[in-house]
Structure 1
Amino acid sequence: MTNKAFKGLSPQEATARVEASLKQRRKKEKRFRLMGLSAVGLALTFLVILFSGILTKGLPGMFQHYVQLDVVLDKARLDPQGDMSDASLFSGDADKIILEASLASIGEEGGRKTKKALRKMVSSGGSQRLIDFVKANPELMGTTQTIKFAVDDDIDSFLRGFIKRETPEKDRRINDFTIEIVDKWQEAGLISYELSDYLFFGSASRDAEMAGIKGALFGSLLTLAICVSIAFPLGVAAAVYLEEIAPKNRWTEIIDININNLAAVPSVVFGIMGLAIFIVTFGMPRSIPLVGGIVLALMTLPTIIISSRAAIRAVPPSIRDAALGIGASKMQTIFHHVIPLAMPGMLTGTIIGMAQALGETAPLLMIGMVAFIVDIPGGFTDPATVLPVQIFMWADFAERMFIQKTSAAIIVLLAFLITMNAAAILLRKKLERRW
């Protein structure tokens, strides 16, 4: 309070007014602090609700039901050509042998109705699983082995309780006869609920029980490799030039404004640009990590430039003055002193930019990385998809099991994002220098 406010007041009155003013100020500070805590609490509440929903749906998606069958590995039937080649194994009777093992599991020879039901109860990928087992264990030919096969997604949904046996048969996806077979399997202890190997080691599939993220995960890694190899050196070089070398004039101001504007451009615009330039103009193939990485690099480049410039500006001028004072050249000062000290901030900005790129979907949809890719990409020019796009595609499928696998894939994606952000924090602490 000013001296005029106390003019004409006795010391007691002045003291009372000061105490009233302090009391009112403390109330305002307490109210402001309470508002801040409420905002943080609300944000944490929404975060807990979000993660609870994802974990509730996603954790069951990491598991699925399997049936254990005693399979007779008849070499003559599984490998008719006798050379263990893919052509021979895929021309064998793998499906029939699995059917026979299914019939044996319920103690029946089986009529037409039973065989028809059993063929639908074991996943269509069962023959592939049997062939893979035989290829990995050729010495077991001629013996009987217990092998676990994924059950069909309808059977899995029934075992999870999504399909109720109390529902009228005409309104169910599985009939009463099929439920009787499932009951026999459960009574015999043949049904198990385990961590899904298909989720982590399978690739894209229309069958929910066989769908996995391996192909999309490899595609994401290849795309990010292209992205970081382009965006990091270009972003750091641009930041160093603009902060340390470029003259401060109207042209550099225009460049600064445009870099800041590009950082706010919606990601889908970069996808449209990639479609128009790289695919339409240059004729590059759709749905390859090379194009996806270039598009994501252009999208994250402004973020890396801005964070790198901020890190360079944070280096004290005394560091530059000291280097120049002992005879270092301008370039020596930049590369031997400024960049090493600014590198933690540069790397932090780059990792955060890569984390943002990892979660992008819109620009990759525009360049065709939404294609249904079954094979694992072996290089930067092989057709591929990425994890966010795989999640987008699964979310559009009608089968209930895809809902849980979508949430499970989101958990994996969030784990990668949290890991990358944690790496940024640790890297910054490790490289940070005090001056």
Structure 2
Amino acid sequence: MTPPAPGIRTFDYGSDEAQARVKRRYQTEARFKLYGLLAVLFAGAFVFILLADIVRKGMPAFFEHRVVLTLDLDASLIDPTGRREIDALRNGDYNKIVMDAWRANFPEVTQRAERRRLEALVSSGAADDLRAAVIRDPALIGQKIRFPILLSDDADLHFKGLSSRISSAPGTGALDVKINGREVELSGSGQPFAAILADVKAGLMQDAERIGAELARLPASQQGGNNAALDARRIELAQRVAELRRRAGDVGSAETIDFSSMPSRIVRAEGASIRLQEIGASSAKGFLLVAPQREISRIDSWTVATFATPESNRKASDADIAWLETLNGRGAIEKAFSTRFFTSGDSREPELAGIRGALIGSALTLLVTLMVCLPLGVGAAVYLEEFAPKNRFTDILEVNINNLAAVPSIVFGLLGLAMFLNFFGLPRSAPLVGGLVLALLVLPTIIIASRAALKAVPPSIKEAALGVGASHQQAIFHHVLPLAMPGIMTGTIIGMAHALGETAPLLMIGMVAFIVDIPQAITDPGTVLPVQIYLWSDLPEVAFQAKTAGAILVLLGFLFVMNGAAILLRRRFERRW
């Protein structure tokens, strides 16, 4: 073959070197695709974990536990005059009716401190539920009815498994029982408490190892300084370790339960609950928390419940849990969907707190935002895109609108604080002010989205309208704007979703206040859902953690719905030119 002429470029496709280059190129492309897939999976895994954690923590907020009691609706306590007037029914002593029925389940509770703990297991809003039922149906007065009474947050947390982990094990052998007042002695042949005693001894050895590790972490003794205090601490810990190891090593000796640091153990049998205070291999002494349903001298079947958390480290005491479990065993506890979470306003009591006030406040705030930003945003977009002259002023205006879309939201809060509250004197913590502030925040987004929708309409539409004699205004408002409306609505919905999740600007205008009442107008004090979540997340009660996660789920649901509506609008009305 003749060699190629000078200046003509040749390509090598068939040599081994060329095939290797092609193979490396395909490998690089495949590796790039793999990196992209791994990035998507990694991000999706984080989103899934986040949503799963929120759902796990928030689902308890949608349910509540109640105890069904037989209530005697004594007319002398509800309506002494017998007139059945609303004001008289509202002033009835419903709390006494509820508490009398509640205390009747545990007649052995007579001490004042115990009665206070027993009454604290019932929600402070239980009487309000009964009052509302009687006002709805005054014919209930004078009857005995079965009525569900809302439990307190501590009792509710116990049944939701958020209080303390409890393990139960069947007892071995029969027990002889001696009851003296509230003091109980249990004994039996064959060392029925040997396994429990061994578990207590093992716990003592674990405590000795834990304290020994703390002793080993102490710095060595040095001259001067706080040497005396350090030595005293070291001697104290060493003595505790030695004492615990001695008690754990003495296998046959009885042990006294220290409820401040050791797990509690409750014997349950014949409807009774006995807290063990001194445990031996063949006998034990305890305190009667719940009286048996009948007189007993011998127990053939019994169980032992062990609380993983010592009584001093949990809000629900051993007696509280014993009372609740007794009622649960009688079938008096029911679990129901918590409608009050959606129908009640905020409250200091977790079991009574709801998001209705925040939902109404969010709706009023978004209504003000929509009424302000939609006409202003669309009008500004139409003017800038179709009517405004192209000069330096409009160029500066467009640049500033684009910059405002990237300004931190708290800056708009400062602007609202200075302008709407301090200058105009509008009411603080009102949906009116919140809506105006969010309108300022969303306005640049709506203007930009509206201008993009107007640009997407082919110029031939406007030119055809002008060609048949329409004015410029008629061409824009009768032809261009209707065709751009799906894009405008999509941008508006996305902007409103953005406004729904904002918190910082609303905090600046005082919408962080604790407000129980439901706002009825845009000038009434109110709050919004993101601020309600912020308030609940800062509260120390464990029950408010579930309320916080539940409110987050509701907020995410609204955001998903609004973004889904934007997608549906775009797919339904979008045109391909």
User: What TM-score comes out, normalization by structure 2 length?
Assistant: 0.71
Aligned to 1:226: 368
Would the aligned equivalents of 1:225 and 1:293 in 2 still touch at CA under 8 Å?
yes
Q: Deviation digits for residues 301-342 of structure 1, max 9, x if unmatched?
A: 000000111111111111111111222110111011111111
CA 1:108–1:71: 2 relative to 1, 3 Å? farther
Deviation of 1:5 after TM superposition, in Å, equals 12
Q: Does residue 255 of the first structure (1) align with residue 400 of the second (2)?
A: no
Would the aligned equivalents of 1:64 and 1:196 in 2 still touch at CA under 8 Å?
yes
Q: Deviation digits for residues 173-217 of structure 1, max 9, x if unmatched?
A: 233322221122111111122211221111100111111001110
Q: Which moved more, 1:167-176 or 1:290-299?
A: 167-176
Q: Which moved more, 1:44-53 or 1:163-172?
A: 163-172
Q: Does residue 62 of the first structure (1) align with residue 204 of the second (2)?
A: no
Distance 1:178 1:205 in 2: 23
CA 1:84–1:30: 2 relative to 1, 3 Å? farther
Gaps of 5+ in 1: none
Q: Once the two structures are aligned, what percentage of the paired residues are identical?
A: 52
Matches within 5 A, 1:121-160: 121-160=121-160
Distance 2:27 2:313 in 1: 64
Would the aligned equivalents of 2:57 and 2:549 in 1 still touch at CA under 8 Å?
yes
Aligned to 1:50: 50
The structure with higher relative contact order (CA 8 Å, sep 6+) is 1
Aligned to 1:349: 491
CA 1:109–1:222: 2 relative to 1, 3 Å? same
Give the paired residue count: 431
Would the aligned equivalents of 1:267 and 1:299 in 2 still touch at CA under 8 Å?
yes
Aligned to 2:463: 321
Would the aligned equivalents of 1:69 and 1:105 in 2 still touch at CA under 8 Å?
no
SS at match of 1:121: coil
Deviation of 1:114 after TM superposition, in Å, equals 5.0
Deviation of 1:36 after TM superposition, in Å, equals 2.3
Distance 1:203 1:247 in 2: 52
Would the aligned equivalents of 1:99 and 1:115 in 2 still touch at CA under 8 Å?
no
Q: RMSD in angstroms over aligned alpha carbons? A: 2.2
Q: Which moved more, 1:122-131 or 1:63-72?
A: 63-72
Deviation of 1:86 after TM superposition, in Å, equals 5.6
Aligned to 2:429: 287
SS at match of 2:104: helix
Q: Does residue 336 of the first structure (1) align with residue 478 of the second (2)?
A: yes
Deviation of 1:127 after TM superposition, in Å, equals 1.2
| Structure showing greater Rg | 2
Would the aligned equivalents of 2:420 and 2:433 in 1 still touch at CA under 8 Å?
yes
Q: Does residue 186 of the first structure (1) align with residue 302 of the second (2)?
A: no
AA paired with 1:322? A
Deviation of 1:371 after TM superposition, in Å, equals 1.0
User: What TM-score comes out, normalization by structure 1 length?
Assistant: 0.93
Would the aligned equivalents of 1:6 and 1:14 in 2 still touch at CA under 8 Å?
no
Q: Deviation digits for residues 13-39 of structure 1, max 9, x if unmatched?
A: 444476555444433332332232222
Distance 2:378 2:462 in 1: 18
Aligned to 2:99: 99
Structure whose residues are more often helix by fraction: 1
Distance 1:202 1:85 in 2: 25
Deviation of 1:59 after TM superposition, in Å, equals 1.1
Q: Which moved more, 1:136-145 or 1:99-108?
A: 99-108
Q: Which moved more, 1:219-228 or 1:104-113?
A: 104-113
Distance 1:221 1:289 in 2: 9
Would the aligned equivalents of 1:106 and 1:184 in 2 still touch at CA under 8 Å?
no
Residue in structure 2 matching 1:266, options 403, 408, 422 = 408
Distance 1:193 1:5 in 2: 91
Would the aligned equivalents of 1:103 and 1:110 in 2 still touch at CA under 8 Å?
no
Distance 1:188 1:302 in 2: 62
Q: Deviation digits for residues 209-247 of structure 1, max 9, x if unmatched?
A: 111001110100010010011111111000000000101
Structure whose residues are more often strand by fraction: 2
Deviation of 1:69 after TM superposition, in Å, equals 1.3
Q: Deviation digits for residues 52-96 of structure 1, max 9, x if unmatched?
A: 111111112211221111112223312345455564334321111
Aligned to 2:119: 119
Distance 2:504 2:131 in 1: 38
Gaps of 5+ in 2: 165-306
